[in-house]
């Protein structure tokens, strides 16, 4: 059996159920479609006897949750609806999926899959693919079937691929459309017993690069930041929100080279450092849509830094989800994420807009 056969299982569907007109239109027009799941059955489970809590954020989070689960979920539902309405107000299409009683983490839709759409041009073939996750926390495997069924029903001809190696979707693989690269996290000990220290296997990055044709920048995550999207966020115009302690020291040089030095971008202008306090509140776990950065509640100092870089900041209280280790980016999955061939950095008009925006 070949390496490709060892690594992948592929499904290509020709079927399509009735798709809401708004979603179909966004899919056809290459616009974002955020898959979201309401927190009806969201919960922060008690520690596993052998593995402990899934991450360090959940240690205090569980204590808060167990005081009054019903009140906690009620508050979470309000926060989730506020986030959803923020997206809708920006013109983003939301594909809301049904919650499942056996999937308390399904609300964190980013983790179950990674989708990428590549439109055909003179240099690149037309390609559309979804890579399903292989969770380190094996209790979450049921989420993958749900994500797969959504893609299967809504997007005919989409290649659906499953990784043999540990791989955690958009949560641990953040596409940077400005640079046309993936920022991908990994740990040396991916598996159920080490989920608090990281989730993904470095070998999965080779699969991602091969399937997408996109460069993958591999970064070793550092506890308590178990996914790369908890300490790093590329923004629309080349800036990067970054908490340096979320990546192990040996990965910092790789980050700086690929984020700034390689492109001749001044670090002082394009790096937005995030303090430990803000990082602990998952201020890097943001969604950036054009000039708007949707961020969980953060310090006024960080908000001013983002605004100084030329962005509008939309703050949303997501404390109930931060208690389990997730915030805005974890709560969405763009199933229609478009590849920008070569990145926005190579498009003259966009770069000119960047210069104006950055002043």
Q: Tens digits of per-residue pLDDT, 18-43?
A: 789 999 999 999 999 999 999 999 99
198-230 exposure pattern, b = at least 16 Cβ within 10 A, e = fewer = bbbbbebbebbbebbebebbbbbbbebbbbbbb
- In order of 273, 282, 293, 312, 337, the CA distances from 305 in angstroms are 9, 16, 12, 11, 27
Contact yes or no for 26/33 (Cβ under 8 A): yes
Residue with the bigger pLDDT between 253 and 1: it is: 253
Q: Provide the pLDDT confidence category of residue 193 given band limits of 50, 70 and 90.
A: confident
* Beta strands 159-163 and 8-12, pairing class: antiparallel
Token couple for 353: 């807009």
Place of tokens 């499904």: 11
pLDDT above 90 as % of the chain: 79
User: Which pLDDT does position 2 carry in this prediction?
Assistant: 35
Q: Provide the pLDDT confidence category of residue 120 given band limits of 50, 70 and 90.
A: low
On whether the 32-357 domain is CATH 3.75.10.10, my answer is: yes
User: Which pLDDT does position 348 carry in this prediction?
Assistant: 41
Token couple for 307: 């605004």
Q: What is the mean pLDDT of the chain?
A: 90
Contact yes or no for 227/57 (Cβ under 8 A): no
At residue 349, does pLDDT exceed 80?
no
**Mean pLDDT calculated for residue range 147-168:** 91
The residues pairing with 295 across neighbouring beta strands, listed in sequence order, are 315
At residue 126, does pLDDT exceed 80?
no
CA distance 39 to 42: 5
Q: Provide the pLDDT confidence category of residue 119 given band limits of 50, 70 and 90.
A: confident
**What are the residue ranges spanned by the domains of the chain?**
32-357
CB neighbours of residue 255 within 10 Å: 18
């Amino acid at each position: 059996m070949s390496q490709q056969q060892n690594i992948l299982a592929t499904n290509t569907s020709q079927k399509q159920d009735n798709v809401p007109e708004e979603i179909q239109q966004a899919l056809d027009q290459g616009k974002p479609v955020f898959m979201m799941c309401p927190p009806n059955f969201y919960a922060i489970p008690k520690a596993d006897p052998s593995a402990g809590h899934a991450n360090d954020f959940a240690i205090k989070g569980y204590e808060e949750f167990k005081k009054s689960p019903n009140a906690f979920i009620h508050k979470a539902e309000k926060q989730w609806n506020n986030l959803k309405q923020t997206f809708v107000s920006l013109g983003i299409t939301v594909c809301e999926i049904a919650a499942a009683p056996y999937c308390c983490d399904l609300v964190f839709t980013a983790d179950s899959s990674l989708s990428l759409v590549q439109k055909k041009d003179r240099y690149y073939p037309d390609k559309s693919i979804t890579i399903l996750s292989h969770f380190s926390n094996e209790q979450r495997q049921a989420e993958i079937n749900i994500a797969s069924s959504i893609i299967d029903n809504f997007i005919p001809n989409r290649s659906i691929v499953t990784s043999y190696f540990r791989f955690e979707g958009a949560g641990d693989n953040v596409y940077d459309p400005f640079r046309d690269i993936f920022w991908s996290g990994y740990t040396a000990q991916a598996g159920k017993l080490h989920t608090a220290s990281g989730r993904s296997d470095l070998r999965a990055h080779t699969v991602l690069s091969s399937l997408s044709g996109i460069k993958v920048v591999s970064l070793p995550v550092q506890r308590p930041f178990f996914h790369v999207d908890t300490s790093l966020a590329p923004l629309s115009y080349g800036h990067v929100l970054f908490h340096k302690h979320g990546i192990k020291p040996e990965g910092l040089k790789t980050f700086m080279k690929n984020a700034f030095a390689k492109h001749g971008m001044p670090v002082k202008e394009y790096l937005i450092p995030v303090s430990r306090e803000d990082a602990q509140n998952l201020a890097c776990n943001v969604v950036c849509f054009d000039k708007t950065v949707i961020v969980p509640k953060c310090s006024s100092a960080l908000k001013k830094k983002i605004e100084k870089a030329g962005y509008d900041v939309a703050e949303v209280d997501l404390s109930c989800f931060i208690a389990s280790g997730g915030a805005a980016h974890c709560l969405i999955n763009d199933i229609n994420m478009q590849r920008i061939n070569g990145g926005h950095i190579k498009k003259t008009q966009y770069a000119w807009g960047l210069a104006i925006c950055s002043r």
